[in-house]
Amino acid sequence: MKPSLRAAFSAAVLAVALVVSPAPAQAASLTMLGADVSSLQRTLDLGGKYYNASGVQANPYDILKTAGVNYARLRVWNNPASGYNNKAKVLQQAAAIKAKGLKLMVDFHYSDTWADPGKQYPPAAWASYSLTQLQTAVYNYTYDVCTSLKSAGLTPDSVQIGNEINVGMLWPKGQVVNSNFAPLASLLKQGYNATKACNSGTQVIIHVADADSMTNMRWFYDGIKAAGVTWDITGLSYYCMWHGTLANMYNVVVDARTRYGKPVVIVETAYQFTTADADSEKNSIPGTVLCDNIPATSAGQAQQFTWVQNTARNAGAIGVFYWEPTWYAIAGNGWDPANINGTGDGWDNMATFDWGGKVNPYIKWTA
């Protein structure tokens, strides 16, 4: 997702049913306890520091591991203006992640900047490509990033072929128009094949932000399945402000898991710990837009995250990832890769570290 803006969302407080159906028999535990830490390297390069619950400076990966994290997610952009989140930076950060014993998910945006449901712009170098050329480019780029990691001893444990591709990726060639999934499917197949050619054990995730809608979720995955797309894990985004109640998310996860016979992971979620704003960049999610009557406090942030994990687990999901928990407000780590120094952090009230870099002591990732 792009943290500074979202196309449109309801600002209404969402009243949520807290009681969900009993856990299906096969639901056991969350094995993928994740954190998307894509902005972390920039913070560290700027001299940003992180502190544990006792206020002692520590390695941020160690702090996250102490809180229960066992899996890190990194987005990769083709040629971002800032240089951050490109292949070289992903290799650098992947080395730090693997050195801490964490598993690695690589999130291919197939763009030079943010790709999400409202925009899926191809990299500038691919802008004039035909669909056939894009198929080749997706294969070659995916294979190159994956094999570069593998050669460095950093083989990804999973990859996403696209990010929140609700109506396709690499628009307009890979956009789903009039429910024609064939162009998108041709691209997804290339990403899958490239990943498996690199390493057959790397799991391929197809990710949409459709935890809010059974209809939309079925439309998408039915469409790619009918077009012959293969994938290993179904990925969904769930932000309660945009994606409705926990009870509804439960139903969508159960249906996705049983309908397609594949594990489901909530690859993005988050909640605010304050109503305030640390910098001049408007918060992506105002602190006043709350869910489940949970306040925007450190304890409230932890409570909401626990409820998301509990609901996902009860629905039979195998993982939950908190999106950008380490992206606290620090000058120079702006949201726009074309102006990283001149923009701010719209996620400063959503991170699990406060504006001084101290971790929320209440938040835990639980199996």
Beta strands 233-237 and 32-36, pairing class: unpaired
Active-site hit among 268, 281, 292, 354: 268
The answer to whether 364 and 68 are in contact (CB under 8 A) is: yes
Cis peptide before 172 (omega within 30 of 0): yes
Of 273, 302, 327, which is closest to residue 67 (Cα–Cα)? 302
DSSP code at position 116: B
Q: Residue 233, Cα to own-chain centre: how many angstroms?
A: 14
Active site residue 268: yes
The dihedral through the CA atoms of 294, 299, 305, 309 has a sign that is negative
DSSP code at position 79: S
Number of Cβ atoms within 10 Å of the Cβ of 268: 27
Residues 6+ apart with CB under 8 A from 122: 110, 111, 129, 134, 170, 171, 173
The answer to whether 146 and 194 are in contact (CB under 8 A) is: yes
The answer to whether 214 and 170 are in contact (CB under 8 A) is: no
Active site residue 324: no
Give the integer Cα–Cα distance in Å for 41 and 90.
9
SS3 helix, strand, coil % of the chain, rounded to 5?
Answer: 30, 15, 55
Q: Residue 141, Cα to own-chain centre: how many angstroms?
A: 20
Active-site hit among 36, 164, 281, 348: 164
Strand partners, 236: 208, 266
Give the integer Cα–Cα distance in Å for 103 and 94.
9
| Residues with active-site annotation | 164, 268
